[in-house]
Amino acid sequence: MTYFGQKILPSVRKLEDFEKMLKSPYEYGVLLEMHVSRLKSVYELANRYDKKMFLHMDLVQGLKNDEYATEYVCQELKPYGVISTKASVILKARQKKVKTMQRMFLLDSSSLEKSYQLMERTQPDYIEILPGLMPKYIEEVKRKTGRLVFAGGLIDTVEEVEQAIAAGASSITTSNKELWRHFEPER
pLDDT digits over 88-126, tens only? 999 999 999 999 999 999 999 999 999 999 999 999 999
Q: What pLDDT score does 37 carry?
A: 96
Q: What is the mean pLDDT of residues 76-89?
A: 98
Number of structural domains found in the chain: 1
Q: Is residue 84 part of a domain?
A: yes
Q: Are 149 and 136 in contact (CB under 8 A)?
A: no
Q: Is residue 2 part of a domain?
A: no
Q: What is the mean pLDDT of residues 82-90?
A: 98
Q: Give the pLDDT band (50/70/90) at residue 72.
A: very high
Q: What pLDDT score does 149 carry?
A: 98
Domain holding 58, by residue range, is 8-181
Q: Is residue 116 part of a domain?
A: yes
Q: What pLDDT score does 88 carry?
A: 98
Q: Are 129 and 137 in contact (CB under 8 A)?
A: yes
Q: Is residue 186 part of a domain?
A: no
Q: Is residue 3 part of a domain?
A: no
* Model confidence, pTM: 0.96
Q: Is residue 107 part of a domain?
A: yes
* CATH classification of the domain holding 149: 3.20.20.70
Q: Is residue 40 part of a domain?
A: yes
- The distance from CA 169 to its chain's CA centroid, rounded to whole angstroms, is 12
| CA nearest neighbour of 3 among 138, 172, 139, 164 | 172
pLDDT digits over 8-29, tens only? 999 999 999 999 999 999 999 9
| CA nearest neighbour of 137 among 147, 123, 151, 125 | 151
Q: What pLDDT score does 43 carry?
A: 98
Q: Is residue 21 part of a domain?
A: yes
Q: Give the pLDDT band (50/70/90) at residue 186.
A: confident
